[in-house]
Amino acid sequence: MRKNSFITLLIIVLGVCEASIMNAQTISPKLKWSERMAATVMLQHQESYMIDHATSPKWDYVHGLVLTAMEELNKKHPNPKYTEYIKSYVDKLIQNDGTIDSYKFDSYNIDMVVAGRLLFDIYGKTKEGKYLKALQTLRKQIEEQPRTPSGGFWHKKIYPNQMWLDGLYMGEPFYIQYTMTFENGKSLDDIAKQFELIQKNDRDPKTGLLYHAWDESKQMPWANKTTGTSPNFWSRSLGWYAMALVDVLDYMPKNHPKHKELVSYLNQLASALVPFQDESGLWYQVTDKGNQGGNYLEASGTAMFSYAFAKGANKGYLRKKYKKIAQKAFNGLTGNLVKIGSNGEVIITQACAVAGLGGNPYRDGSFEYYVNEKKKDNDPKATGPFILAALELNK
């Protein structure tokens, strides 16, 4: 009897332990959406370098986006797991001499700058020279980044004379934080100039929306021969631009003349986007063609707009009504595009995996191109902005 009782007790104890382990992997619905999404990311990608299903550590913009969102989350809901998750990514890539593994300076790819935002806080806390050296390397890239004749950063070396909306988010928030932290703000006018060029050359006067890209040389087959703009409005590219504005404004001094200018750009964009918001609260993949067959309500652009509108309203850059519009967008996401997994994971559906212009195979920027690019659940371009939007909305 004693032996049987011991075995029975052991089975019960093991069962309780197993249940505890399972519960540790279950995400509580009582958490805020921001925390649930962060927990999902960490559950699905046990190491931070694995974000976007990477099989080896690489310096990449999607890691920069998601981990920057988690950095913001950690400010409002401190958790050592967030700190460890963020730092582990940086420490996988930054070597003792400050070199960045997998990063290729000579590619002049502005996408590779944004992950550098993670280094400011870590360097500020540790004062370790390797992080400063990495920061300086990325600043050097900006210094040497090829420019269009008007002074705009090329998106990449392989895309000469092209400015993409994506690139404003990839480069300018890092650039302004660096110049305000280490250079007494000497480059503020240059940062504002990047937005000025886009506003002047890439904005459609009829809708107020901005095209995905602008080729100053007008040489690319996708470029309008008169204006140099690409053919369509892509919601995620507009989302990158909106996020760039609100994040850059964090560091642009209010008494600087370019501050008011950037705020005006944000207001123009917000005003232009509202008429194209679907009654569900969501925006379409091709922003202005909601009624055209094949178009779909897309998650990443919507999450980005929700974040930018909510932050803009919270900071006083936008009127209060935009907070309600942001809330409607966020509710549209959670009500229509979010599924809950068996362990409580937040799964965002209908997120465009990738889209670009030119390249090989060639991407022509047509309506058909954008709506036929593959979709991916919990694409990091959706999960990161979802966390940021949830934080601004206290969700």
pLDDT value at position 104?
Answer: 98
pLDDT tens sequence across 285-325: 999 999 999 999 999 999 999 999 999 999 999 999 999 99
Per-residue pLDDT tens for 29-51? Answer: 999 999 999 999 999 999 999 99
Cα 105 to Cα 112: distance, rounded to the nearest angstrom: 9
pLDDT value at position 25?
79
- Is residue 189 within 8 A of residue 175, CB to CB? The reply is no
- Given its phi and psi angles, is residue 152 left (phi above 0), alpha (psi -120 to 50 degrees) or beta? beta
Q: Any catalytic annotation for residue 166? A: yes
CB atoms within 10 A of CB 168: 28
If we measure between CA atoms, which residue out of 212, 207, 318 comes closest to residue 272?
207
- What 3-state DSSP class applies to 303? helix
The whole-number pLDDT of residue 4 equals 52
Catalytic residue, chosen from 52, 166, 247, 288, is 166
Say what the pLDDT of residue 299 is. 98
pLDDT under 70: residue ranges of the chain: 1-24
